[in-house]
Amino acid sequence: MSRRRIAELTLPTLSIIGFIALWQIVVVLRGIPPIYLPAPSAIAAALAQMARDGSLWINLTATLLRIFAGFVVAAISGVSLGLLMGRSRIVAQIADPWLAALYPLPKISLIPLMIIWLGTGETYNIVMSAISAFFPIVLSTYAGVQQVDRGLVLAARDLGASPRQIQAKVILPAAVPHIFNGLQLGMGVTIILVVAAEMIGGSDQTGMGYLLINAGQVMDTDKVFASLVVMAVVGAVIIKLQRFIDRKAAPWAVNAGASRE
C-alpha cells in the first residue's frame, strides 16, 4: 500500500474504533441495560456464538443464495428485454405502460400477494428478489441502448458491419456503462427486498431477515445488533465488488456515461 493510501485509510479507521470505544465506555459507565443497548463486547460475543453454533453461516448462506438467484434471473431477463426494446419499437411500445406502472410501485407491497400465490418457501424469496432487481435493470439497459451515439452506428455501417454486428459490436458495448449502473441499482434493492421478505414470510425459518426478527421478538438485542453488523458488512462488500467489476469491464467509461440515477 502506498503512503497516500494509508493516509486515506487512517481517519475512517480511527472513526470506527473511536465510535466503538465511546459506545463501550458509555454503556459500562452508565449501566445501560443490555436488552436496550448491549455493549460492543457483548455484540462481538453474540456474533462469535452465532459463528460457532453455525446459525450465522446457515442463515447468511440462505440469504446470499436468494439474493444471487433472484439477481441472476433479473439480470438475464432485464438486460434481454432492455436490448429488445431498444431494437424494436413494437416491443418498446408493448412493454412501456407496464414498466411505467410497475417501476414506481414499492415492491415490498407485493409481499402479501406473493405469499398468497407462492407460500413462504424458496420460490417466494427468489421471486421477490428477481422482481425487485428486474425494473432498474430493464430501464437502465433500455436507456443505454437509446443513448448510443448515432455517429458510432453510422461509422460501423460505413466500415461494413451488418445490422447484427452493429447490435453486438456497437450498441451492446456502448450501453455497458448504463447496464452496469442498472445492475448496481438492482443489487441494492434486491438485498433490501430479500431481507424484508424473510422477515415477513419467516415461517420457513432461515435467512438473515428471519434471524433478525426472531431475535427481536425474544428481546435478544445482542443478536439483533450482531445480525445488523453482518448485513451491513456483506452489503458493503457486494457493492464494492460490483464497482470493482464495473471498472474492470468498462474502463473507458470511468467518469463518463455511467451517471448515477
Partner 1 sequence: MEVCVEAVSKIWNVAGAAPVTALDTVHHGFPSGRFSCLLGPSGCGKSTLVQIVGGLETPSTGKISIFDPATAHSAPVGAASIMMWQGLNLFPWRSVIDNVAFGLEVAGIGRRERHERARAMLAAVGLTGFDRHLPRQLSGGMRQRVALARALIMERPILLMDEPFAALDAQTKIVMQEELLRIFDATRKTVLFVTHAIDEAILLGDEIVVMTARPGRIKEVIPIDLQRPRSFDLVNTKEFGALFQHVFHLIREEVTRAMSEQAGQASEQAA
Q: How far apart are CA 221 and CA 229, in angstroms?
A: 12
Is the CB of 171 or the CB of 189 nearer to partner 1? 171
User: Diameter of the chain by CA atoms?
Assistant: 77
Minimal distance, residue 86 CB to partner 1, in Å = 17
Q: How far apart are CA 92 and CA 83, in angstroms?
A: 10
Q: How far apart are CA 242 and CA 24, in angstroms?
A: 34
Catalogue the long-range contacts made by 116-121 (C-beta closer than 8 Å, 24 or more residues apart).
Answer: 120/201, 120/202, 120/203, 120/204, 121/204
Are 85 and 196 contacting, i.e. CB atoms less than 8 angstroms apart?
no
Minimal distance, residue 181 CB to partner 1, in Å = 15
Minimal distance, residue 168 CB to partner 1, in Å = 10
Q: How far apart are CA 194 and CA 132, in angstroms?
A: 9
Is the CB of 218 or the CB of 256 nearer to partner 1? 256
Minimal distance, residue 243 CB to partner 1, in Å = 18
DSSP codes, 197-260: HHHHTGGG--SHHHHHHHHHHTT-HHHHHHHHHHHHHHHHHHHHHHHHHHHHH-GGGTTTT---
Minimal distance, residue 141 CB to partner 1, in Å = 16
Minimal distance, residue 250 CB to partner 1, in Å = 7
Is the CB of 131 or the CB of 250 nearer to partner 1? 250
Are 112 and 57 contacting, i.e. CB atoms less than 8 angstroms apart?
no
**Cell numbers at residue 68, please?**
444471487
Minimal distance, residue 143 CB to partner 1, in Å = 18
Q: How far apart are CA 187 and CA 67, in angstroms?
A: 8
Return residues touching partner 1 (CB under 8 A).
Answer: 149, 151-152, 154-162, 165, 169-170, 173-174, 176, 250-253, 256
Are 140 and 181 contacting, i.e. CB atoms less than 8 angstroms apart?
yes
Is the CB of 54 or the CB of 160 nearer to partner 1? 160
Is the CB of 119 or the CB of 163 nearer to partner 1? 163
Is the CB of 43 or the CB of 170 nearer to partner 1? 170
Is the CB of 104 or the CB of 151 nearer to partner 1? 151
